[in-house]
């Protein structure tokens, strides 16, 4: 009697497991694929850059690089194993110092001093992946740059513009068109949703100068 009861219990336990095995065998490969947890996230993202910009033309001596900060939102519209593409909208602020006191004789009798730039830019980027987590790409775009006047306007026009020319007055009157781009790299960390990278951009602001920017970034992809 005991042997019969043990056999009956064994059959009762194994029957659900057998049914589960049969159900698993009927599941499609696509269903299994959907259950795989992705280590690399692509989609909509937030991105924050910190770096600096060096002007390389006539304003190099008047606007010394200090710091450039930016905040971006964007999204990937191509997501493949070895290639991706994305759009990005960036708000950027740059801080620049004027020449030192002992350099005034070299750059002119009157200068503005510190300067700020505020940029609104749109970029499109395409990247290829050398490995599963490391990508190298190129990006380009454009937008507008606004440079507020940081001193009293009458004194600026009389003391600075009169020494350097009318172009200095024009750069503060309205936003200036800007365009450019450059290489970018990205590394997807093992911390889900987070990646690190660097952007190197050559950006030309019409009416001002050509600037070369280098910045590192932290990116969170939803």
Distances from the Cα of 54 to the Cα of 113, 134, 215, angstroms = 16, 27, 12
Helices (H), 75-166: 104-107, 153-155, 162-164
pLDDT tier, 81 (very low <50, low <70, confident <90, very high otherwise): confident
Range with the lowest mean pLDDT among 69-73, 89-93, 145-149?
A: 145-149
User: Average pLDDT in the 15-21 region?
Assistant: 49
Q: What is the pLDDT of residues 150-184, one digit of tens each?
A: 877 887 777 667 766 556 667 888 899 999 999 99
Name the token pair of 104.
Answer: 């005034």
| Sign of the torsion angle spanned by Cα atoms 103, 108, 113, 116 | negative
User: Average pLDDT in the 24-28 region?
Assistant: 52
The architecture that CATH gives domain 40-221 is Beta Barrel (2.40)
Residue 115: CB partners within 8 Å, gap ≥ 6?
Answer: 62, 63, 95, 96, 98, 147, 150
Q: Is the pLDDT of residue 212 over 70?
A: yes
Length of the chain: 222
Q: What is the pLDDT of residues 126-147, one digit of tens each?
A: 999 999 899 999 999 999 999 9
Kindly provide the residue ranges of all beta strands, DSSP E only, lying in 98-175, ordered along the sequence: 115-129, 134-146
- DSSP code, position 103: G
Cβ atoms of 126 and 87 within 8 Å: the answer is no
Cβ atoms of 122 and 142 within 8 Å: the answer is yes
| DSSP-assigned beta bridge partners for residue 157 | none
Specify the pLDDT at position 105. 57
Q: What is the pLDDT of residues 180-203, one digit of tens each?
A: 999 999 999 999 899 999 999 999
User: Average pLDDT in the 34-51 region?
Assistant: 82
Cβ atoms of 72 and 47 within 8 Å: the answer is yes
Domain ranges of the chain: 1-36, 40-221
């Amino acid at each position: 009697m005991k042997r019969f009861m043990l056999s009956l219990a064994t059959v009762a336990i194994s029957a659900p497991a057998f049914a589960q095995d049969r159900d698993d065998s009927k599941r499609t490969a696509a269903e299994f694929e959907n259950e795989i947890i992705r280590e690399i996230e692509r989609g909509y993202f937030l991105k924050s850059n910190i770096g600096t910009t060096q002007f390389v033309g006539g304003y190099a001596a008047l606007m010394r690089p200090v710091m450039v900060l930016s905040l971006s939102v964007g999204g990937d519209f191509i997501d493949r194993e070895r290639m991706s593409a994305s759009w990005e909208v960036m708000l950027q602020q740059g801080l620049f110092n004027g020449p030192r006191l002992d350099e005034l004789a070299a750059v002119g009798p009157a200068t503005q001093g510190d300067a700020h730039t505020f940029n609104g830019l749109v970029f499109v980027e395409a990247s290829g992946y050398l490995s599963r987590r490391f990508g190298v790409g190129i990006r380009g775009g454009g937008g507008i740059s606004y440079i507020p006047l940081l001193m009293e306007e009458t004194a600026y026009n009389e003391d600075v513009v009169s020494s350097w020319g009318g172009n200095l007055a024009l750069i503060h009157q309205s936003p200036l068109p800007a365009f450019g781009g450059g290489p970018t790299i990205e590394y997807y960390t093992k911390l889900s949703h987070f990646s690190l990278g660097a952007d190197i951009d050559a950006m030309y602001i019409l009416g001002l100068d050509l600037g070369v920017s280098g910045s590192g970034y932290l990116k969170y992809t939803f």
